[in-house]
Structure 1
Amino acid sequence: MSSEISVRDQIFSTYGSLYDAEKKVADYLISHPAEAIEMSVSELAKHCEASQATIVRFCKKIGCKGFHQLKIKMAGEQRQQEEQVISNEINLDHMEQSLNNILGSKLEELKATYSNFDPKELREIIDLILQADMIEFAAMGNTIPIALDGTYKFNQLGLKAVSSTIWESQEAFSRLLREKDIMFAISASGASKHLLNMVEIAKENKAVTVAVTNQAKSPLAEACDYVLLTATREHIFHDQVSFTRMAAMSVIDCLFLFLFSTKWDSFKNVAEHEQSVAEEKM
């Protein structure tokens, strides 16, 4: 990574894999970071209604040796952050503040997503796209629109990209991939059986696989050759919502803009496409 992933991002990235007791610790740290920094492990355990062993286990899951190291990292990150008047409240009776809360959350998602990029790996992915004969965007459920968007944008550039709203068709495309081709597997949890099966098929055919996910330690992330890690902040508003499409869409936009600036015939292809679309408008 271009920079070390923050404690906050580590928590959001691993949240879906935490046990209920560990989620209590995560929720407290997200909501009360300043207070937690001043606590001992026993004090934090009391506030979270969890055992000290749970807190130590949680710390290790997010990449810290123990609570002491976690506090040091949180304190350092807190000093670097600008003060923001943002809460997790969404209330129709407080519309202006709620809009600021949502905007702050979305901005933080995008900033965290882009800070996750490794420039060297991103350059390698872009070079692989340019060399590919076929590019597949594979996704399940509510991430399918992201796959369709990627296909549309890449086709605009004159790249041969495919996707489908039907998983059987996606799997059929994965069987057509060959060496130098590339698959983008997009998943919130990184645990979709269908998607993992497609990745395995693509790898058997020697295609390159890229995961777009917010779960850094998911089966999908471990199976793919590259990982573009997205950030999510929607746990702030509701703990059952684990994936925002905005961050993943921004990954597609980022790739599109780099490719547009690099591929010599991109402007011509996009201009021709826009002209054909314009003819259909009033």
Structure 2
Amino acid sequence: MAPTTASPADPAEPVRESPPVDLLASIRGALPHLAPAEQRVAEAVLADPAQAAEFSISALAGRARTSVTTVMRFCRAVGLANYPQLRLALAGAAAREDALRGERAWTSGDISATDSLQQVVEKIIYSEARSLEETGARLDVDMLERAVDAVAAARRIDIFGVGASGVVGQDLHQKLHRIGRMAFVWTDVHAALTASALLGPADVAIGISHSGTTSDTIAPLQAAAGRGATTIALTNFARSPIAESADLLLTTYALEAPYRVGATASRIAQLALVDCLFVAVAQRSYDDSTEALSGTWGAIHDSGTRRLPPAPPTGS
């Protein structure tokens, strides 16, 4: 079981002497687990970081329909010591966003009713590219290495996920299966719980949930932990329930806007992490993996080029 972390709103949580490298990504990650009033502050900040950086603390509190005290609690929740530090970090984040967007006129990644098709395309591509960049930049490589060690040594690997995360789980299963690993994917909670009952200390269970709150994924992961299996969580939110249920945590940083919940940005980030995990596992037995990939590709290629028997004559 992973060690528990302080709640994002816990006053005892230590604050940073300097802002996080990407404050906006940190705020997005903390958003689902903030108190409702603090969430309104976060939403006001994320809607327009440049404008928020110019607000007094009273003005930001008014925009978020809350109190100055709540704004201060929000600062501490995202690891900042005081409001001036938040304003400075927001100004820097806004400048970085402007540089990344270049000459694009829009300021929000969400889709509006008046956006042109060109703007829709630009926003989606920008959001998905940024999700990959943020995930790569903030990836805990040491944690990934531990996950690779566990999967490479596992007797069997069971993967749990539903909905869009289930599709990502199927991709990981297919990859592992092609290099000869005993891997299974379960997208139904009853089947997943049944599989968990067969796991032991030599096995690995991987739960995939963008939100980190999907009970149908968390339950079998917890059951697998109870059987002694090594558990790995892949989620977008480091303080989510699934993260607390896992020995190892792999975190994406997908930029999903409210209009596009379940959009491809989260899946692309998850698939990128899955690729990193798979390739690193395959490297551990490079020659065997190369031979297995070649053999499985050949089997598919041969079946696709094999001649089919001629059709029977009409009327036979």
Would you say same fold, with TM above 0.5? Answer: yes
- Alignment deviations for residues 149-172 of structure 1 (CA, whole Å, 9 cap, x no partner): 111111112111111232111112
Q: 1:234 to 1:50 in 2, by over 3 A?
A: same
Return closer, same or farther for 1:77/1:221 CA change in 2, 3 Å cut-off.
same
Question: How big is the shift at 1:92?
Answer: 7.8
Partner of 2:185: 163
Alignment-mate amino acid for residue 48 of structure 2: H
Q: Does 1:107 align with 2:107?
A: no
Q: Tell me, in whole angstroms, the C-alpha distance in 1 between the residues paired with 2:112 and 2:51.
A: 23
* 1:280 counterpart letter in structure 2: S
Partner AA of 1:143 in structure 2 = S
Structure 2 unaligned segments of length 5 or more: list them.
1-18, 306-316
After superposing the two structures, state which structure 1 stretch, 111-120 or 9-18, moved more.
9-18
- For the 8 Å contact 2:160–2:221, the answer to whether it is kept is no
CA-to-aligned-CA distance 1:76-134 (integer Å, 9 cap, x gap): 44455534125434568622222111111101111111122112221121121111111
Unaligned runs of at least 5 residues, structure 1? none
Distance 1:169 1:219 in 2: 21
Residue identity in the other structure for 1:238: Y
Tell me the C-alpha RMSD between the 2 structures: 2.5
Aligned to 2:278: 256
Per mean C-alpha deviation after superposition, the further-off stretch among 51-60 and 70-79 is 70-79
The partner residue of 2:152 within 125, 130, 136 is 130
Q: CA deviation at 1:253?
A: 1.4
CA distance in 1, matches of 2:146, 2:20: 20
Residue identity opposite 2:161 in structure 1: A
Tell me the secondary structure at the aligned position of residue 231 of structure 2: strand
Match for 1:271 among 280, 294, 303?
294
Cα 1:204/1:83, change in 2 over 3 Å: closer
Q: Contact conserved, 2:146 with 2:248, CA < 8 A, in 1?
A: no
Give the CA deviation at 1:5: 5.5
CA gap 1:4/1:52 in 2 versus in 1, 3 angstroms: closer
Matched residues in 1 for 2:94 and 2:144: separation? 28
Alignment partner, residue 90 of structure 2: 74
Could you say which residue in structure 1 is the equivalent of 2:75? 59
Of residues 28, 32, 36, the one that matches 2:44 is: 28
Query: Any idea what SS the aligned residue of 2:120 has?
Result: helix
For 1:109 and 1:93, the matched residues in 2 are separated by 21
Q: Secondary structure at the residue paired with 2:124?
A: helix
**Structure 1 range deviating more: 150-159 or 138-147:** 138-147
Out of 249, 254, 258, which is 1:232 matched to?
254
Normalising by structure 2, what TM-score? Answer: 0.79
SS in 2 for 1:8: helix
Aligned-residue offset at 1:239: 7.4
Q: How many residues align?
A: 279
Partner of 2:267: 245
Task: Check whether the contact 2:24–2:93 (CA below 8 A) recurs between aligned residues.
Answer: no
1:199-238 to 2 correspondences below 5 Å: 199-235=221-257, 238=259
Residue 276 of structure 1 and its aligned partner are, at CA, apart by 1.4
Match of 2:24 in 1: 8
**Structure 1: which 4+ aligned runs deviate by more than 6 Å?**
none
In the superposition, relative to structure 1, how do residues 51 and 90 fare at CA in structure 2: closer, same or farther (>3 Å)?
same
Larger of the two Rg values belongs to structure: 2
Distance in 2 separating the partners of 1:48 and 1:204: 43
| Contact kept? 2:41, 2:64, Cα under 8 Å | yes
Cα distance in 2 between the residues matched to 1:198 and 1:271: 34
